[in-house]
């Protein structure tokens, strides 16, 4: 009898111990599948983090965090737009330049601050690839973007009775609608009768007005994307001279902080891309990218942070605060770039518009891409490396954030 009691007690203790071990292992962050390329350590050294000069063979290479590279301590987190003049700089030289928690909702501009944001170009994004199904086209309409409960929501849905007047005037009453927003306003060019001016291919023409741009700094956003097929959201930066050839990526590089183009066919394949593109999008285009294969599921319906540290020497990318890729691809852009949050839908055949298989978008469901906040900081030590503007004045809306770079190949692409 006594022996039985002892055995039961031992079993209970063992059970508790096993539960404790399980609990600990469940709560431990599991980012073990991030593959780093070693550049992360070069980046640390370039940033003169001497105490971080690590022997790559001896350290846990899966655990470098934003705080290993920079210290944003002591800085405010409230919604703000730095417009020159006095600033509070922390010990490491950082200060906030653009923080939007989307906690102020505007009556116009779909609720977004019109000084900073515009909805992405109101136009067809991609024609359908599906024969006999013109309604599988992807159309960007501002009506799909709104600010709700301190978050920006970008809806994606099929609509066979779309009522937007502009879309109707373009002939898009039946399509897959979604959109985006960015710190650039693409303004439709119209003739004296108010009709869109078309190019030789029949495409509407736009003027690109940058509302806000920055070269270098730390860019972070918290987003939640849909756990659904046929969707591709992204947080990215683009320079207005990126299409020019020459100077490699120093005169502008598309910086894809994240692209969610790798969830497909409901297989919960958790992959996430970072990429750089420079020298335009034609045959001269240069690309460098990295796809993270992740142990944890980023398509879990929760918010995740994606960020970029862009210094004069390197780019370092982070997911949920962990370094995931670093590079100096393209030679590092030296010009201000604008921010874009965009959502895309497959081109009707399960393929994304840029060659990734993203699965078929379903017409009987609505999907939502949420952006909780965006935070951008600048460091006073980076400022002297910024390329001069075209007119020698500080970069602003007035000079359209245009740099002094003039490529002999301007206009080729
Ligand atoms: Zn519309």
In a domain, 135, yes or no: yes
236 and 253 Cβ atoms separated by less than 8 Å: no
Asked if 179 and 119 count as a contact pair (C-beta separation under 8 A), the reply is: yes
Mean pLDDT, the chain, rounded, equals 86
Residue 178 has a CB neighbour count (10 Å cut-off) of: 28
Task: Say if 251 falls within a structural domain.
Answer: yes
Output the CA 120–ligand 1 centroid distance in Å. Answer: 11
pLDDT in the model for residue 410: 46
User: Would you say residue 342 lies in a domain?
Assistant: yes
* Residues forming beta bridges with residue 145, ordered by sequence position: 154
Given a contact cutoff of 8 angstroms between Cβ atoms, the answer to whether 234 and 154 are in contact is no
> What DSSP letter does each residue of 182-216 carry, written as one string?
ESEEEEEPB-TTSPBPB-TTS-B-EEEEES--BSS
Number of domains into which the chain is organized: 1
121-138 pLDDT, tens digit each: 999 999 999 889 999 999
In the reported structure, the alpha carbon of residue 337 is separated from the centroid of ligand 1 by a whole-number distance in angstroms of 26
Please write the tens of the pLDDT for every residue from 268-304: 567 888 999 988 777 888 899 888 777 678 888 899 9
Q: How close is the Cα of 170 to the center of ligand 1, in Å?
A: 9
Which domain range does residue 260 map to?
80-385
Separation of CA 257 and ligand 1 centre (Å): 27
What pLDDT, on a 0 to 100 scale, did the predictor assign at position 243? 65
**Residue 46 in domain:** no
Is 62 within the bounds of a domain?
no
Residue 242: the pLDDT is 65
Supply the DSSP symbol for 60.
-
Residue 56 pLDDT > 70: no
User: Which long-range CB contacts under 8 A does 158-162 form with residues at least 24 apart?
Assistant: 158/361, 158/363, 158/364, 160/135
DSSP helix/strand/coil, 175: strand
| Å from CA of 209 to ligand 1 middle | 20
339 assigned to some structural domain: yes
Residue 35 falls within a domain, yes or no? no
Tell me the pLDDT tens digit for each residue of 159-201.
Answer: 999 999 999 999 999 999 999 999 999 999 999 999 999 999 9
Q: Distance (Å, rounded) from C-alpha 392 to C-alpha 390?
A: 6
Q: How far is the CA of 408 from the centre of ligand 1 (A)?
A: 38
| Residue 46: Cβ-neighbour burial (10 angstroms; 0-12, 13-18, 19+) | middle
- φ, ψ at 226 (rounded to 5°): -70, 145
Q: Record the pTM.
A: 0.88
180 within domain boundaries: yes
pLDDT digits over 11-50, tens only? 655 555 555 444 443 343 444 445 666 777 777 777 777 5
Residues near ion ligand 1 (CB < 5 Å) are 141, 164, 166-167
pLDDT, residue 14, reads 58
In this structure, the strands spanning 138-140 and 175-178 are parallel
CATH number at residue 98: 2.60.120.200
pLDDT tens digits along 298-353: 888 899 999 999 999 999 999 999 888 889 999 999 999 999 999 999 989 888 87
pLDDT, tens digit, 9 for 90 and up, residues 212-265: 999 999 999 999 998 889 999 999 999 877 667 778 899 899 999 999 887 765
User: Cα(180) to centroid of ligand 1, in Å?
Assistant: 12
Report the 10 Å Cβ neighbour count for 211: 19
């Amino acid at each position: 009898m006594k022996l039985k009691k002892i055995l039961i007690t031992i079993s209970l203790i063992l059970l508790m111990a096993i539960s404790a071990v399980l609990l600990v292992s469940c709560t431990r962050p599991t980012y073990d599948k991030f593959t780093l390329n070693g550049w992360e350590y070069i980046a640390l050294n370039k940033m003169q983090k001497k105490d971080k000069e690590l022997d790559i063979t001896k350290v846990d290479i899966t655990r470098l965090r934003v705080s290993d590279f920079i210290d944003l301590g002591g800085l405010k987190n409230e919604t703000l737009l730095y417009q020159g003049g006095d600033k509070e700089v922390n010990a490491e030289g950082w200060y906030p330049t653009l923080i939007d928690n989307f906690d102020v909702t505007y009556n116009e501009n779909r609720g977004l601050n019109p000084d900073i944001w515009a909805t992405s170009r109101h136009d067809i994004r991609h024609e359908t690839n599906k024969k006999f199904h013109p309604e599988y086209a992807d159309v960007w309409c501002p009506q799909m973007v709104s600010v709700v409960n301190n978050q920006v929501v970008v809806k994606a849905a099929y609509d066979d009775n779309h009522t937007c007047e502009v879309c109707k005037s373009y002939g898009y009453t039946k399509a897959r609608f979604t959109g985006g927003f960015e710190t650039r306003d693409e303004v439709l060019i119209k003739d004296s009768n108010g009709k869109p001016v078309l190019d030789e291919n029949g495409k509407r023409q736009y003027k690109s007005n940058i509302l806000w741009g920055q070269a270098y700094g730390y860019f972070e956003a918290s987003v939640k994307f849909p756990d659904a097929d046929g969707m591709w959201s992204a947080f990215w930066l683009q320079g207005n001279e990126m299409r020019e050839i020459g100077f490699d990526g120093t005169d502008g590089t598309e910086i894809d902080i994240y692209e969610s183009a790798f969830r497909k066919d409901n297989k919960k394949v958790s992959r996430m891309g970072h990429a750089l593109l420079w020298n335009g999008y034609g045959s001269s285009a240069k690309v460098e990218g990295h796809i993270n294969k992740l142990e944890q599921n980023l398509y879990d319906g929760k918010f995740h942070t994606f960020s970029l540290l862009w210094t004069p020497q390197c780019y370092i990318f982070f997911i949920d605060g962990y370094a995931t890729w670093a590079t100096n691809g393209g030679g590092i852009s030296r010009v201000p770039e604008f921010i874009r949050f965009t959502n895309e839908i497959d081109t009707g055949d399960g393929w994304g518009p840029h060659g990734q298989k993203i699965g078929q978008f379903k017409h009987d469901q609505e999907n939502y891409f949420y952006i909780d906040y965006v935070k951008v900081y600048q460091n006073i030590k980076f400022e002297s490396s910024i390329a001069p503007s075209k007119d020698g004045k500080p970069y602003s809306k007035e000079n359209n954030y245009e740099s002094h770079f003039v490529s002999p190949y301007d206009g080729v692409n």
